[in-house]
């Protein structure tokens, strides 16, 4: 590698990188070497580089990186000249860095000259207000914008302190402003912030009222015996309602009891009672309380909204109250009632109640849909799965794709992709598709697929509405490696592909907010434990970003989950996503339910969707691998955990 690099590049005494013969490979190597030098804040002769990469689409990025490095010495005209000359997604980073520098220098005129009003960065918004105050003074627009930044339920950045001090010093903020922010802070559980505002702006009498709210917030069960709130004060009823809402989150059953008592005592307005009863009933439903159905059914018409109707159906389903489910589905708004999910469950309710003819007809109609519920319906109707019958025809022409690829921004995205600079590539791709037409998105999805950039093809196809294009949405990259590691672990490769597709969409550099890494999104701790059991310890956490390592560790862990749950794909997929501890608890709560009902009772929304997608996608990937689709019902039957689907 060193010899190859030296044959393509020469580093001069002053640090300039000089290109060897001009070809695409050499241009990429020269760009990458220059980028790495600039990223390390090392000197590069930008004059020479500009000559040697004059036609290379990523040259502006080197100028960007160079300008960022010496921003403290740059002039306003140079910065603005770059921003005007280059339409790059990273321009906002440069502008923001320049604005922060101007604010640090207290160059308020320079700040205003470079500021764009569409900013969504709170620090810069506050700097802008301070710049206005310093250069032009305060007007009604300034007061309006400053008050809006102050009236939030969380602390703002330190840059906002001078702006807020002006509001305090001029007496602009009054009691109503204080209560508006206190309410938002308490809703956000920011009691300390609410207390600060109360001490700063409220009268002694109102501070006493706020302290009663603090006590209720800390222990809302006080409402079971009394109120502890001065209900003669105009805000007393609102504070009582806030306490009941908080009790509803902690203990819906106690909240229902307390609410009933306070409603009968006339402590609340009728509108508040309806709102609170809906809140408590829904909280009971969210936590799968046995009392939820009764609460939802007791709600009077003013308290019933779309969410209540939806949760009546969900709770009836979880209870396997088929008659109640039938009525709840009939009461859903049409746009929900016609979704695949509720079409399936309406048919299941008919089946459970012995209405076989109607159920089979409904299942047969739904079986034409390529989805989790469509596949389940096909299993009931003994129909085939809705897989493409003909060879795929691209939605766009070759000419359209060539025209798209020739666009400057798309060419930049492609170059970053070729260089393996994934974040930069995705940023450019996203910028180029912002505001694109449906036809342009179709062409972009197919272009990314042609390049082998599968994650962009998948996401772009989805946004383009190409939901039926199986080849675009369910590719099989890394096939040899996936099949090898699946065989080693005793797993169906289609199941592994479905897990990868759901976890990372084939992004080898995928990183989750929780810290999971790589194709199969393995958590570092899990990866180390599995590797240790294999007798092949991980060299480092980041080795999980290597596709082969991710597949080796991920398939081994998935196989452990399959063994733990007797080969049941439903439970193994749920455990891979949420962890076996949660799955064991869900099994204890409703393990005797049919598998399709059990999936709907999974507490975590993410895991419910995850399991449904993995089961359906396993069927699709088995077809993509040249086999008959694995039936969803077959995947649900592994082990001895679930009752029959037909129960």
Could you tell me how many helices (H) and strands (E) the chain has, helices first? 38, 2
Give the confidence band of 165 by pLDDT, cuts at 50, 70, 90.
very high
Give the confidence band of 3 by pLDDT, cuts at 50, 70, 90.
very low
Instruction: Indicate if the pLDDT at residue 501 is higher than 60.
Output: yes
Instruction: Indicate if the pLDDT at residue 83 is higher than 60.
Output: yes
State the pLDDT at residue 19. Answer: 40
State the pLDDT at residue 225. Answer: 85
- Model confidence pLDDT, tens digit, residues 585-596: 999 988 789 999
The DSSP code sequence of 182-222 is HHHHHHTT-HHHHHHHHHHH--HHHHHHHHHHHHHHH-GGG
Range of lowest pLDDT (145-149, 343-347, 536-540, 597-601): 536-540
- Model confidence pLDDT, tens digit, residues 437-457: 999 999 999 999 999 999 999
Q: What is the mean pLDDT of residues 108-129?
A: 94
State the pLDDT at residue 644. Answer: 60
Q: Give me the chain's average pLDDT, please.
A: 93
What's the rounded Cα separation, in Å, for the pair 646 and 430?
A: 46
Residues sharing a CB contact under 8 Å with residue 617, sequence separation 6 or more, in sequence order: 474, 497, 498, 501, 502
Range of lowest pLDDT (7-11, 273-277, 582-586): 7-11
Instruction: Indicate if the pLDDT at residue 405 is higher than 50.
Output: yes
Is 335 a catalytic site residue? no
Instruction: Indicate if the pLDDT at residue 288 is higher than 70.
Output: yes
Residue 10 host element (H or E): strand 9-11
What's the rounded Cα separation, in Å, for the pair 640 and 335?
A: 37
19 — phi, psi (to 5°)? -85, 150
Output DSSP code: residue 270. H
**Choosing from 503, 588, 606, 628, which is the catalytic residue?**
503
Residues of the chain with CATH 1.10.1240: 398-468
User: Does 3.30.70.270 match the CATH number of domain 479-636?
Assistant: no
State the pLDDT at residue 227. Answer: 81
At the topology level, CATH places domain 145-333 in 70-kda Soluble Lytic Transglycosylase; domain 1 (1.25.20)
Residues of the chain with CATH 1.10.530.10: 479-636
State the pLDDT at residue 11. Answer: 39
State the pLDDT at residue 389. Answer: 79
- Model confidence pLDDT, tens digit, residues 254-282: 999 999 999 999 999 999 999 999 999 99
What's the rounded Cα separation, in Å, for the pair 576 and 589?
A: 19
More confident residue, 194 or 537: 194
Instruction: Indicate if the pLDDT at residue 645 is higher than 60.
Output: no
Q: Confirm if 381 and 367 have CB atoms less than 8 A apart.
A: yes
Which residue is it, tokens 């199969």?
520
CATH architecture of 398-468: Orthogonal Bundle (1.10)
Percent of the chain with pLDDT over 70: 95
Give the confidence band of 1 by pLDDT, cuts at 50, 70, 90.
very low
State the pLDDT at residue 296. Answer: 98
Instruction: Indicate if the pLDDT at residue 5 is higher than 70.
Output: no
Residue 598, helix vs strand vs coil = helix
Instruction: Indicate if the pLDDT at residue 6 is higher than 80.
Output: no
Which residue is it, tokens 């679930």?
642
Residues of the chain with CATH 1.25.20.10: 145-333
- Model confidence pLDDT, tens digit, residues 23-61: 589 999 999 999 999 999 999 999 999 999 999 999 999
């Amino acid at each position: 590698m060193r010899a190859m690099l030296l044959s393509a590049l020469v580093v001069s005494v002053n640090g300039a990188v000089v290109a060897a013969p001009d070809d695409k490979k050499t241009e990429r190597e020269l760009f990458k070497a220059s980028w790495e030098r600039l990223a390390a804040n090392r000197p590069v002769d930008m004059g020479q580089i500009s000559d040697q990469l004059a036609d290379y689409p990523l040259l502006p990025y080197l100028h960007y990186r160079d300008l960022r490095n010496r921003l403290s010495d740059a002039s306003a005209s140079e910065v603005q000249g770059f921003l005007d000359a280059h339409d790059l997604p990273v321009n906002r980073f440069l502008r923001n860095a320049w604005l922060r520098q101007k604010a640090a220098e207290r160059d308020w005129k320079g700040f205003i000259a470079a500021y764009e009003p569409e900013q969504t960065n709170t620090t810069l918004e506050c700097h802008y207000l301070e710049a206005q105050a310093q250069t032009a003074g305060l007007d009604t627009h300034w007061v309006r914008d400053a008050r809006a930044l102050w009236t939030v339920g969380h602390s703002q950045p330190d840059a906002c302190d001078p702006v807020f001090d002006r509001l305090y010093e001029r007496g602009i903020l009054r009691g109503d402003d204080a209560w508006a922010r206190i309410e938002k802070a308490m809703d956000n559980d920011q009691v300390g912030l609410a207390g600060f505002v109360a001490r700063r702006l409220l009268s002694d009498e109102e501070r006493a009222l706020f302290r009663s709210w603090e006590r209720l917030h800390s222990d809302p069960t006080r409402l079971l015996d009394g109120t502890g709130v001065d209900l003669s004060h105009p805000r007393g009823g609102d504070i009582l309602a806030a306490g009941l809402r908080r009790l509803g989150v902690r203990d819906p059953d106690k909240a229902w009891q307390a609410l009933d008592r306070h409603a009968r005592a006339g402590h609340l307005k009728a509108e508040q009672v309806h709102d609170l009863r809906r809140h408590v009933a829904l909280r009971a439903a969210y936590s799968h309380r046995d009392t939820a159905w009764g609460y939802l059914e007791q709600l009077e018409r003013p308290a019933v909204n779309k969410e209540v109707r939806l949760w009546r159906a969900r709770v009836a389903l979880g209870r396997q109250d088929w008659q109640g489910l039938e009525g709840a589905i009939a009461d859903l708004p049409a746009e929900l009632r016609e979704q695949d999910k509720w079409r399936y469950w309406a048919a299941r309710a008919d089946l459970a109640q012995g209405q076989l003819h109607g159920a089979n007809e409904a299942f047969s109609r739904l079986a034409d849909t390529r989805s989790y519920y469509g596949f389940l319906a096909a299993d009931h109707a003994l129909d085939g799965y809705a897989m493409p019958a003909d060879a795929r025809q691209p939605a766009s022409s070759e000419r359209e794709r060539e025209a798209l690829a020739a666009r400057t921004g798309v060419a930049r995205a492609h170059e970053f992709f070729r260089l393996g600079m994934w974040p930069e590539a995705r940023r450019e791709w996203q910028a180029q598709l912002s505001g694109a037409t449906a036809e342009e998105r179709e062409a972009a999805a197919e272009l990314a697929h042609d390049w082998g950039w599968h994650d962009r093809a998948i996401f772009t196809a989805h946004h383009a509405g190409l939901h039926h294009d199986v080849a675009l949405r369910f590719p099989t990259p890394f096939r040899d490696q996936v099949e090898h590691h699946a065989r080693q672990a005793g797993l169906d490769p289609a199941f592994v592909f479905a897990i990868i597709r759901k976890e990372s969409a084939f992004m080898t550099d995928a990183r989750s907010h929780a810290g999971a890494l790589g194709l199969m999104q393995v958590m570092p701790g899990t990866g180390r434990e599995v590797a240790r059991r294999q007798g092949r310890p991980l060299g480092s956490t980041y080795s999980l970003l290597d596709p082969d390592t991710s597949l080796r560790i991920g398939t081994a862990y998935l196989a452990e989950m399959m063994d733990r749950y007797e080969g049941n794909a439903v439970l193994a997929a749920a455990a891979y996503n949420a962890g076996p501890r949660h799955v064991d608890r869900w099994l204890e709560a409703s393990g005797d339910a049919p598998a399709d009902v059990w999936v709907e009772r999974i507490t975590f929304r993410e895991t419910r969707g995850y399991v449904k997608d993995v089961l359906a996608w396993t069927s699709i990937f088995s077809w993509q691998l040249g086999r008959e689709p694995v039936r969803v019902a077959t995947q649900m039957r592994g082990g001895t955990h679930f009752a029959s689907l037909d129960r």
